[in-house]
Amino acid sequence: MIITTVKKPDSFVRAEAEAQARAWNVPYVPRDKRSIQRWQRETGEDIYIVAAGGDTYYPATKAAEPLAFHPSMAWLRGLQVHRGGSDPLLEAAGVREGDTVFDATLGFGADSIMLALGAGKTGTVLGIEKQPVVASLVRKGLRLPGDYPSWFTDAMQRITVVRGDSLRLLRLLPDSCIDVVYLDPMFAEAIDTSPAIDRLRPVAATDPLSTAWIEEALRVAWRRIVVKDYADSPHFKQYQLTPAGRRSAAVRYGWKEAYT
């Protein structure tokens, strides 16, 4: 991988790019006037571009699209909730004002944003992301104001992004220390046609849902765990999860009370 910047970076962007390169132990190369496409043809390297308005990752794999943070459907879902509507994830999670939520599978952060909206101004969301590139893109993206109202950007900024393996991190936590734990493993087959999910899939962590994950989530949660899965997934019955959301939906949320 190569870390670089936009073509005309200021000193802050250049310093950020150099720091990112040191953190990942990869080279920082000044951009100058290089074309990303030509640069990749010459080097065969992934390229990560640091910019004041949000970073972009260009995978070397030809079939993979560039990655950049965007709240995607969270904005429309959040707007609906802000106007008094409902959201199936928030209904399943039962998130309350002031809650602490552990999102074990952050991805691009759309569900974390919804959970942060549910937890309100005094709540917080810990978003765990295994892939360092995705974690970096989302961590920075959540801090940028964009063209959104303050109630939405405030929710994004209540999310703390942690790069790591969520099962390992759960095992380090004491019993009943988190109000709600949320699990949304990347599905083995694509059923979400969101462009953001399609771009994320080639680099996303693909750890399957497991009994160990469920057991640790139930131990750490104070109130309940929530799992997102195929609507007809056998996991709902296997783990005794109560389904929530429309029966006709392609995916559903299942919840279970924690061990308290």
CA 40 to mean position of chain CA atoms? 27
State the residue range of the domain holding 99: 74-257
Closest by alpha carbon to 126, among 99, 161, 95, 98? 161
CATH number for 214: 3.40.50.150
Task: Over range 151-174, report the average pLDDT.
Answer: 96
Considering only CA atoms, which of 80, 58, 104, 96 is closest in space to residue 209? 104
The answer to whether residues 114 and 214 belong to one domain is yes
Statement to judge: residues 46 and 103 lie in one domain: no
On average, the pLDDT of the chain sits at: 91
Q: Give the pLDDT band of residue 224 (cuts 50, 70, 90).
A: very high
> What is the per-residue pLDDT for 207?
76
Provide the pLDDT for residue 260.
60
Q: How far is CA 19 from CA 27, 37, 131, in A?
A: 10, 24, 18
Q: Residue 137: beta bridge partners?
A: none
Picking from 35, 66, 97, the residue at the C-terminal end of a domain is 66
Identify the domain boundary among 27, 46, 66. Answer: 66
Per the structure, the count of domains in the chain is 2
Residue 46 and residue 140 in one domain = no
Residue 203 confidence (pLDDT) above 80: no
In percent, the amount of the chain with pLDDT more than 70 equals 91
What is the per-residue pLDDT for 244? 86
Is the Cα torsion angle 90, 79, 160, 166 positive or negative in sign?
positive
On whether both 227 and 245 belong to a single domain, the answer is yes
Other beta carbons within 10 Å of 247: 7
Instruction: State residue 169's pLDDT score.
Output: 97
Rounded average pLDDT over 3-21? 96
Residues 155, 100 within the same domain: yes
Neighbouring residues of 112: CB distance < 8 A, sequence distance ≥ 6: 101, 103, 106, 125, 127, 159
pTM above 0.75, yes or no: yes
- Which range, 60-69, 113-122, 230-239, is most confident? 113-122
Among all chains, which residue has been given the structure tokens 């950020």?
Answer: 16
Q: Indicate whether 13 pLDDT > 90.
A: yes
- Lowest average pLDDT, out of 19-23, 143-147, 223-227, goes to 143-147
Decide if pLDDT at 127 tops 80: yes
Do 208 and 117 belong together in one domain? yes
Which of the pair, 198 or 40, is modelled with greater confidence? 40
State the CB neighbour count (10 A cutoff) for residue 58. 22
> Has residue 153 got a pLDDT over 80?
yes
Q: What is the pLDDT of residue 64?
A: 73
Band (pLDDT 50/70/90 cuts) for residue 112 is very high
Q: Which residue has the higher pLDDT, 65 or 45?
A: 45
Q: Alpha-carbon distance 112 to 166, whole Å?
A: 14
Determine the longest span between alpha carbons in the chain, in angstroms: 59
